Amino acid sequence: MAAQNGKDLLIKLDLTGGLQFETIAGLRATRISFNAETVDVTSLESTGGWRELLAGAGVKSASISGSGIFKDQATDERARQIFFDGEVPQFQVIIPDFGIVQGPFQITAIEYAGSHNGEASYELSLASAGVLNFVAL
């Protein structure tokens, strides 16, 4: 795989509940991470004392974070509404030349910042809240 342009990693949210996704405007940096907990089933009978893990067990999760500047009133307002209403809507993450991850996420944090001689900025943190689907590109 060739080098990818970082601005092509997109976080999209469902603006209306009708699975019509809009890119969250103004993002400058984005990140998605996938995690899988392990279930240790090591016992005295484990060969050579090596740890054994139970295949397919444990909790899977994903987290998304992004930071940027205010550029679009509709996506800014929707993100605030999702947070304050405790909603768990569908989001999409477009990973260039890899695939699209879609599923329910909860916005777990919104941070706002600004300095007297700069633009106002924000940071979002999201946690997966159900089954995620992956479609390869």
Which tens digit of pLDDT belongs to each residue from 47-93?
Answer: 999 999 999 999 999 999 999 988 878 888 888 999 999 999 999 99
What integer is the mean pLDDT of 122-135? Answer: 96
**Confidence (pLDDT) at 76:** 86
Residues 13 and 1 sit within 8 Å (Cβ to Cβ): no
What integer is the mean pLDDT of 96-124? Answer: 93
> CA nearest 102: which of 31, 8, 26, 21?
21
Residues 103 and 109 sit within 8 Å (Cβ to Cβ): no
Q: How far is CA 65 from the centre of its chain?
A: 6
CB atoms within 10 A of CB 48: 4
**Confidence (pLDDT) at 1:** 63
> CA nearest 30: which of 11, 13, 3?
11
Domains of the chain, CATH where assigned: 6-136 (2.30.110)
